[in-house]
Amino acid sequence: MPSSPSRRMKIGEFLLLRLEEAGVRHLFGVPGDYNLVLLQQLQDTGTLKWIGTCSELNASYAADGYARLNGLGALLVTNGVGALGAINGVGGSYSEHVPVICICGSIPLRSVERGLGMHHTMADGSYDHFLNAYAHVTAACARLTPRNAAIEIDRLILTAWREKRPVYMELPSDIAYLDIEVPAGPLVLADAPSDAERLRSCIAAVARRLSAATSPAILVDADADRFGVASELMELAEKMQAPVAVINTAKGVIDETFPHYLGIYLGKASEAHVREAIEISDCLLAIGYRPIEVTTGDFTASLPANTIHARGHSVDVGDDNYQAVTLKEVLRGVINAVPRVRNRAPRPVAAAAARTHADPSAKLTQAAYWQAMQGYLREGDVLFVDNGTSYALFGLKFPPKCTFVGSVNWGSIGYSVGALLGTLTAAPERRHLLFVGDGSFQVTAQELSTILRHDHKPVIFLINNGGYTIERGYLGKDEAYNDIANWSYADLPKVFRRDTSARSFVVKTNGDLQKALSAPNDTMIFVESIMDRYDALAPIINSSNKGAELDYGPRGPQNRDNQLRPATH
């Protein structure tokens, strides 16, 4: 049998080359003795650009943000201490379906083989703890050896890309410079072709149902973005004149100015027209739907029993389950197969709510803040939201071509600051707006320094309300555990970069906010808005109140008048 062409390369250099071929141009992380060898190879070969971060947690968030815009992201950590620092973020990538490659410079094989005790281990003779930990938060993981490296590197990168999930690889520090035989050709990121019969049958089954329906509709979760099918979904909706709703994880995935876009579906918490179109559809096509309490209006979502469930690599239609098909091919086939509908007009778009005039000298409230933000958004923005009262961003209407970045399922506070570094690195030409609370910001604040170091120009909107307001709606309206230290947030750009040109604003009134919003975007803008600790939009407090019922049950302490409730006017 003729063997496929091969060549010889150093393991570390091969890994870097493969990352580059997979479209990864930057590597985030923190150096450590076990990974310095790979960093030296990166330096010597000039393949990827190194973006050192202040912590591995932030590197994991940055790689996640980068991957969301770039299709794939990567970070480099050191054994144990670095790997566990990053595992929260990698777990988030797993939960949120984001393809991230976590590379860990690990214990030399010499020590593993001889059982030599080494630092950054449990000193218990085992070297597998961190590999085992990562097995729970990755689609695949492996420790590289000279025998498996050529195969494992390709398998792991391709698995991350195909599954839209993170992978973890350990590169023992004494093998990065060893020559191995590697394939001569480049790594091609592609899905395995669908099974021809399954694909044909699946397309026919979906198209048949959709064509026969009188009220077809589409419901979109985040996988529509991860598997890159937003434009197909809009094409299908257009051809069938069918309405499309998203759940909050997929905010902005469907252009919100698209005539067939309905809004966000959240069960009973949805607007009536959205709820009706989804719940009484006689053929609902759901894309990657993964319901949890915060994406279903506390389990009040109710999809029709005969909903078609399409996922990245499989489709459920009635009793039939189709495997070995890809979402993109299925949708392309369905678009071609369904007849063009002309008599199902989209519902007229409601006129935008009239803007009330804000008194410039009045103290800033959340209601006025979010109304002002609606006017600030512009086409093409990358819009970040962290946990907290900033969730009000979900209520704003996005202009075309905006990208939403958030972590709705995983919900780790501080994610947004690290991820912002990642999206800025992936797409520095776009305008990036971060909406974050003081509590979330404190978790990962030091990454602001890396953002400044690389001359990025985001706009950071921080709400200083003295602590964890959204948590006060669960429990502890006035308890000290929901209070935090009152930093001088707007001074931080100067702290993190002495010669910063960032424009900082401390906003207390509507007039202050207007001034901040009129600053040009030629440098970083940091807007610290001081607001009342009890101020939050009613849907947000309601959601916290309901969350407390679910979390603590009827015997819980939330009923002792110990909970922030929506204001009653």
Ligand X SMILES: Cc1ncc(C[n+]2csc(CCOP(=O)(O)OP(=O)(O)O)c2C)c(N)n1
Q: Which residues are catalytic?
A: 33, 56, 119-120, 411, 438, 465, 467, 471
CA distances from 227 to 67, 196, 326 (A): 12, 20, 9
Q: State the nearest-atom distance from the C-beta of 536 to ligand X, in Å.
A: 7
Q: Which does 476 bind (CB under 5 to 8 A by kind): Mg ion, ligand X, none?
A: none
Going by DSSP bridges, is the β-strand pair 403-405/459-464 parallel, antiparallel, or unpaired? unpaired
**SS3 category, 405:** strand
Residue placing its CB nearer to ligand X in the complex, 103 or 463: 463
- Chosen from Mg ion, ligand X, none, partner binding at 470 (C-beta under 5 to 8 Å by type): ligand X
Residues in contact with Mg ion, total (CB under 5 A)?
A: 4
> If you write DSSP's letter for every residue of 86-131 in order, what string do you get?
HHHHHHHHHHHT--EEEEEEE--HHHHHHT---SSS-SSS-S-HHH
Q: Indicate which of Mg ion, ligand X, none lies near residue 412 (CB less than 5 to 8 Å, by partner kind).
A: ligand X
Nearer to ligand X, 288 or 437 (CB): 437
Which residues contact residue 554 at a Cβ distance below 8 angstroms, ignoring those fewer than 6 apart?
Answer: none
Q: Which does 22 bind (CB under 5 to 8 A by kind): ligand X, Mg ion, none?
A: none
Rounded least distance, CB 165 to ligand X, Å: 21
Kindly state the helix (H) or strand (E) to which residue 374 belongs, with its residue range.
helix 366-376
The footprint of Mg ion on residues 333-392 (CB under 5 A) is none
Q: Which is nearer to Mg ion, 270 or 465 (CB)?
A: 465
Centroid of chain to Cα 369: 24
Query: Is the distance from CB of 391 to CB of 385 less than 8 angstroms?
Result: yes
- To Mg ion, the closest distance from the beta carbon of 436 in angstroms equals 9
Q: How far is CA 394 from the centre of its chain?
A: 15
Say how far apart CA 360 and CA 358 lie, in whole Å: 6
Binding of Mg ion at residue 476 (CB under 5 A)? no
The span from the CA of 250 to the CA of 287, in Å, is: 10
Q: Which does 403 bind (CB under 5 to 8 A by kind): Mg ion, ligand X, none?
A: none
In one letter, which amino acid is 297?
Answer: G
Rounded CA-CA distance 45/17 in Å is: 9
Rounded to a whole number of angstroms, the minimum distance from the CB of residue 464 to Mg ion is 7
Q: In angstroms, give the least distance from the CB of 438 to Mg ion.
A: 4
How far is it, in rounded angstroms, from Cα 306 to Cα 309?
Answer: 9
As measured in angstroms, the least distance from the Cβ of 90 to Mg ion is 26
Instruction: Give the residue, chosen from 326, 366, 465, 482, that forms a contact with Mg ion under the rule CB under 5 A.
Output: 465
Q: For residues 154 and 535, which CB has a smaller minimum distance to ligand X in the complex? A: 535
Residue 248 or 465 with smaller CB distance to Mg ion: 465
| Residue (118 or 484) nearer to Mg ion, CB | 484
Q: Which is nearer to Mg ion, 28 or 441 (CB)?
A: 441
Q: What is d(CA 453, CA 447) in angstroms, rounded to the nearest whole number?
A: 10
CA dist 302 to 247, 276, 296, Å?
Answer: 13, 10, 9
Question: x/- site string to Mg ion, residues 428 to 447, per CB under 5 A?
Answer: ---------xxx--------
Residue 277 or 413 with smaller CB distance to ligand X: 413
Q: Which does 27 bind (CB under 5 to 8 A by kind): ligand X, Mg ion, none?
A: none
- From the list 159-167, 312-320, 353-361, 458-466, the region that binds Mg ion by CB under 5 A is 458-466
**What residue 471 binds from Mg ion, ligand X, none (CB within 5 to 8 A, per partner kind)?**
ligand X
Question: Least distance to ligand X from the beta carbon of 552, Å?
Answer: 15
C-alpha of 342 from chain center: 36
Please state the closest distance from residue 565 (CB atom) to Mg ion, in A.
18
**Integer Cα distance of 319 and 316 in angstroms:** 7
Minimum separation from the CB atom of position 98 to ligand X (A): 17
Nearer to Mg ion, 112 or 463 (CB): 463
Contact status: 473 vs Mg ion (CB under 5 A): no
Kindly report the number of other CB atoms within 10 A of residue 79's CB atom. 24
What residues line the site for ligand X (CB under 6 A)? 386-390, 411-413, 437-440, 463, 465, 468-471
Told to check if 414 binds Mg ion by CB under 5 A, we report no
Burial of 197-218, coded b for 16+ CB within 10 Å and e otherwise, reads: ebbeebbebbbebbeebeebbb
From the list Mg ion, ligand X, none, partner contacted by residue 387 (C-beta under 5 to 8 A by kind): ligand X
CB 384 within 8 A of CB 434: yes
At position 204, the amino acid (one-letter code) is A
What residue 58 binds from Mg ion, ligand X, none (CB within 5 to 8 A, per partner kind)? none
Q: How far apart are CA 377 and CA 4, in angstroms?
A: 53
Query: Is 422 an interacting residue with respect to Mg ion (CB under 5 A)?
Result: no
Q: Which residues contact 438 (CB under 8 A, 6 or more apart)?
A: 462, 463, 464, 465, 466, 467, 484, 487, 489
Q: Where do contacts with Mg ion occur on this chain (CB under 5 A)?
A: 437-439, 465
